[in-house]
Amino acid sequence: MYSACVQEFTQWRDVARPLLSAGIAPEEMEWRVGRQFEPLISNGSAMPAAGPTSLRLSRQLIELLEAIGCYRHDGRWDLMYRLAWRTLRQPRLLEDAADPDVHHAMQMESAVNREVHKMHAFVRFREMADEHGEKKYYAWFEPGHDILRRGVAFFCKRFPNMEWMIATPDGAALWQNGELQFVETPDQATLPKADAHEGLWRTYYRNICNVSRINPPAMRREMPQRYWRNLPESVEIQTLLRDGQASFAQRQREATDMELAKARAMQRALADLPDHSGGPSACRRCDIWRHATQAVPGEGSTSATIMLVGEQPGDEEDLRGRPFVGPAGRVLDAALTTAGLERGELYITNAVKHFKWQPRGKRRLHQRPTTTEVAACNHWLDAEVSQVKPRIIVALGASALRALAGLTDSIESARRLQIPHASGAQIVCTYHPSAILRADPANAGQLRSRLVDDLRRARELAA
Amino acid sequence: MDLETKLAILADAAKYDASCASSGAPKRSAAPGKGMGSTTGMGICHSYTPDGRCVSLLKILLTNFCLYDCLYCINRRSSDIPRARFSAQEVVDLTLYFYRRNYIEGLFLSSGIIRNADYTMEQLVEVARTLREEHEFRGYIHLKTIPEASPELVEAAGRYADRLSVNIELPTREALTTLAPEKSDVSIKRAMGEIRLKLDEKADGGATAPRFSPAGQSTQLIVGADDSSDASIIETADTLYRSYKLRRIYYSAFSPIQRASARLPNRAPPLMREHRLYQADWLMRYYEFSVGELAQSMPGGKLDLSVDPKTTWALANRHQFPVDVNTADRHLLLRVPGLGVRVIDRIISSRRHRQLRYEDLKTLGATLKRARHFICTADYRPRQSDRSSDGLRRALIGAPEQQSLF
């Protein structure tokens, strides 16, 4: 066994070169984690000869390795060695982007290149005159990877006739008299705190933003929040978001149904609410909650292979807080027993978690949820599916089918289809038990036997 | 009026122009001892505003006074907004202040029409000339070209600028006549044609020909101010690309403006429509789709807002699918929803080394949510190929969108 501890690409190269020439396999070499360079040592085996080597590595591979060397991850040196070792034996390895090592390497390379690009974009200089009145420019930047050296060449070409420093938590680059040096990180207190023209820049930023198009997720995707504290313009963001909200409210009133669910997601982003705040009972993704007692979550075995999905809780479920415990639940229980299924071994839930109703005399009469409401509630259904990971999902009725597969087919035709769910599970579609309650007595028997047949089919598919 | 107030007015006046690119300029950098600035060929977005758009250039108008009364424009003569005018020197100063602090890639300067086309154009050219000649500025410059400006001025603009643009704004002549009575589609197209000819001259003349707008020309179409259909917009776009060799067309969802004419819609900007138009535009330019093919899968001339146009096309052409990713040629792979150009490059390179399986496509970065209905691999065929296109479309809409598009 061999081992070493390296901190940067050139050190890695010097350690790796003799090992590669000697044909030492990746499993024989341990790249230790540490903060200090430690040269190659061997544990029992002979040290590889240090002499000249005839290693030929392609330009493409070396560029890839240089990039990965900047990626902050303990496994980088090991992956680099493995890639080099394998490429020497399989020269066209890099063409195979589906190979796991190549895939990881490319992902790391693009993350590093992206970080370099963001450095070019987000470094902000502040001007400060020295004791002779000479203007100098200072920036404080916090990169996500070890890219200072890689990213700084750009600034040398762009600003050769200014004196500047880009300081990071891990060292600084200093450009003076046309020469670049790398120096220790200066005390942050010595860097300028403000700049005479930042006010103009903020004015520009505020006015170039079109608040009628407000879209904070797109902003955050390209300018993640971790950069904000070093960007002087970011102090304007909150005000612009508030202005945008007013304009957004207007837009929401005019949005089509299809856009509404997304619109709500946007609203949450604006309010900066955490996504899972308080579970379905605290959910305000649509307005049904206003008139319901409580959210009715699913129940049953979280390791179930079969999940049943109904439409929404009814009057009784709303009061009890449990699914399928009213009249329709009793029809379902009977059908399950006939089909040879144990309710306790299933997971049972609804597409919509709150009860939607309209008054009819003294009763609360079930009202069908709208597409928008079903879509808003999909969030919770998806969470349940990914927790339980069923193989078979039984869609009980049209609303469940719409929620699970986006289909609006009739149950009669949909129950003959093979429908995949986005999670990979298979959907079996059948009638909702309440359809049997509502059907006229002549048809009820037929519907009931179809429900049983479909449940039986689900049981067989899950077996 | 102080500089900051002018900046506020003239940035606000410029924000309806969607163009922001700083790409396409030749690689260059400042020489030791003189000047400042560089271009790498790639654009850089230096910041993002809460509208999700990037800030790459200092995008301002020289003035928002304007002789014209185009109804869709915030700066039209009859609009009662505050007016301001920069001096050429003020624009130069602002550009240098911002550039030196690494806020921007350069300048995008446009203007309302004052006095006449030539006078306005002269002012724009003077700013660019000062930056280039007096300050040795090597950053990016994009200049708006005023239709009917004299050829000498356009030539001078092309000498200093990296990109020129003339905005056509409305997709049809009828719309232009109604909403911008003082503009003429003929003079706009003529201006584009003139730039195209000078670009050709430069291309034929090689290194010895005088510099002319190395990043080419672009234009903008406003979407939703008039009732032009999507089909007529992409047809116009196709004509413009083919006729004037545009680098790109920007589609700008019409944003309601203050005290707008009653002839204009007072509703939220149609952002999804704008997004779908960009996708259709991309299909024409990078995915080998013809405008006819796209128009055919647009019933009533409208893009399907809930599904991207490539998927719409694929659903209307089910007989071409499933495509075998292990054998299909590039042209066919480009037609598969959920496969982008880069993923296709990886597929073609990787399949020389292995039989691609379904899991491999995930690794290569395909969007399987869409692609899985249209492909087969060594170990996979779509199960529901017998499902109707309509059902499939609805299933795809039901799946959550990858991006939040607003």
Instruction: Collect all residues of chain A within an 8 Å Cβ-Cβ radius of residue B269.
Output: 212-213
Contacts of B82 in chain A (CB under 8 A): none
Q: How far is CA A66 from CA A15, A30, A181, in A?
A: 14, 20, 20
**Contact (CB<8Å) A127/B100:** yes
For A289-307, what is each residue's pLDDT tens digit? 777 777 888 999 888 999 9
Strand ranges for A336-383 from DSSP E: 347-350, 357-360, 363-366
What are the phi and psi torsion angles at A323 (to 5°)? -80, 150
The band of A278, judged by pLDDT with boundaries at 50, 70 and 90, is: low
Task: Please tell me whether the interface predicted TM-score (ipTM) of this complex is above 0.90.
Answer: yes
Q: Kindly state whether residues A295 and A265 are assigned to the same domain.
A: no
A26 and A161 share a domain?
no
Same domain, A405 and A427: yes
In a domain, A430, yes or no: yes
- Do residues A361 and A308 share a domain? yes
Number of domains chain A contains = 4
Residues 390-429 of A with CB under 8 A from B: 402, 404-409, 417-420, 422
Whether residue A197 lies inside any domain: the answer is no
pLDDT at B328: 96
The 10s digit of each residue's pLDDT in A400-414 is: 998 888 888 889 888
Strands B248-253 and A299-300, how do they pair? unpaired
Calpha distance B346→B356 (Å, rounded): 11
Q: Higher model confidence: residue A356 or residue B109?
A: B109
Residue A248 is assigned to a structural domain of this protein? yes
Integer Cα distance of B103 and B55 in angstroms: 9
Q: Residues A422-451: what's their mean pLDDT?
A: 91
Whether residues A59 and A158 fall in one domain: no
A312 with A458, same domain: the answer is yes
Residues spanned by the domain of A112: 2-118
Find the mean pLDDT for residues A115-137: 95
- Mean pLDDT of all residues in A89-113: 93
Question: Is residue A195 in a domain?
Answer: no
How much is the pLDDT for A35?
A: 86
pLDDT of A131 > 80? The answer is yes
pLDDT per residue over B45-89, tens digit each? 999 999 999 999 999 999 999 999 888 888 988 888 999 999 999
Q: Tell me whether residue A282 is in a domain.
A: no
Work out the mean pLDDT of chain A and round it to a whole number: 87
A121 neighbourhood in chain B, CB within 8 Å: 44-47
Residue A345 shares a structural domain with residue A329: yes
In a domain, A198, yes or no: no
Q: Does B44 touch chain A (CB under 8 A)?
A: yes
Tokens representing A46 are 């002979």
Q: Do residues A72 and A41 both lie within one domain?
A: yes
Same domain, A150 and A222: no
What CATH number has the domain bearing residue A452? 3.40.470.10
Which residues of chain B, if any, have pLDDT below 70?
A: 258-262, 384-386, 399-406
Please count the other Cβ atoms lying within 10 Å of the Cβ belonging to residue A97. 21
A394: β partners: A308, A428
Distance from CA of B5 to the nearest CA of A (A): 9
CA pair distance A353, A342, nearest whole angstrom = 23
Tell which of A244, A274, A304 closes a domain: A274
What confidence tens digit (pLDDT) does each residue in A82-96 have? Answer: 999 999 999 999 999
Residue-wise burial string across A308-343, b where 16 or more C-beta atoms lie within 10 A, e elsewhere? bbbbbbbbebbbeebbbbbebbebbeebbeebebeb
Q: Residues A229-240: what's their mean pLDDT?
A: 92
Cis status, amide bond into B322, omega within 30 of 0: yes
Q: What is the dihedral of CA B324, B330, B331, B332, to 10 degrees?
A: 10
**CB A87: neighbour CB atoms within 10 A?**
21
Last residue of a domain, one of A214, A247, A274: A274
d(CA A87, CA A84): 5
* Residue from the list B3, B30, B360 with its beta carbon closest to the beta carbon of A158: B30
Burial class (CB in 10 A: 0-12, 13-18, 19+), A365: exposed
Of B85, B179, B76, the residue nearest B123 (C-alpha): B85
Contacts of A292 (CB under 8 A, 6+ apart): A313, A318, A354, A355, A356
Q: Kindly report the CA angle at A244 between B278 and B69, in degrees rounded to 5?
A: 65
φ and ψ at residue A212, rounded to 5 degrees? -75, -5
- Residue A51: CB atoms within 10 Å: 7
Which of A120, A241, A265 shows the shortest C-beta gap to B404? A265
Q: Are A258 and A313 part of one and the same domain?
A: no
Q: Would you say residue A423 has pLDDT above 50? A: yes
The tokens for A8 are 């940067």
Judge if A298 and A380 occupy the same domain.
yes
Q: Closest by alpha carbon to A121, among B103, B83, B40, B341?
A: B103
187-216 in A: which are within 8 Å (CB) of B?
195, 197-201, 203-216
Q: Calculate what percentage of chain A has a pLDDT beyond 90.
A: 60
pLDDT of residue A204: 97
Six token digits for residue B175 = 């719309």
Task: Report pLDDT for B391.
Answer: 82
Give all domains of chain B, ordered by start, each with its CATH number: 3-269 (3.20.20.70), 309-398 (no CATH)
Is-contact A403 A351, C-beta < 8 A? Answer: yes
Per DSSP, the residues of A284-336 read -SSSGGGG-S-----EE-TT-SEEEEES---HHHHHHT-SS-SHHHHHHHHHH
Report pTM.
Answer: 0.74
Tell me whether residues A161 and B356 touch, CB distance under 8 A. Answer: no
Say if A255 is an interface residue toward chain B (CB within 8 Å): yes
Within-domain flag for A279: no
Last residue of one domain, picked from the residues A118, A133, A152: A118
The answer to the question of residue A283 being in a domain is no
Q: How many CB atoms lie within 10 A of CB B332?
A: 16
Mutation target among B40, B46, B48 for the A interface, most CBs of A within 10 A: B48
Same domain, A51 and A179: no
Given a cut of 80, whether residue A254 has pLDDT beyond it is no
pLDDT for res B386: 61
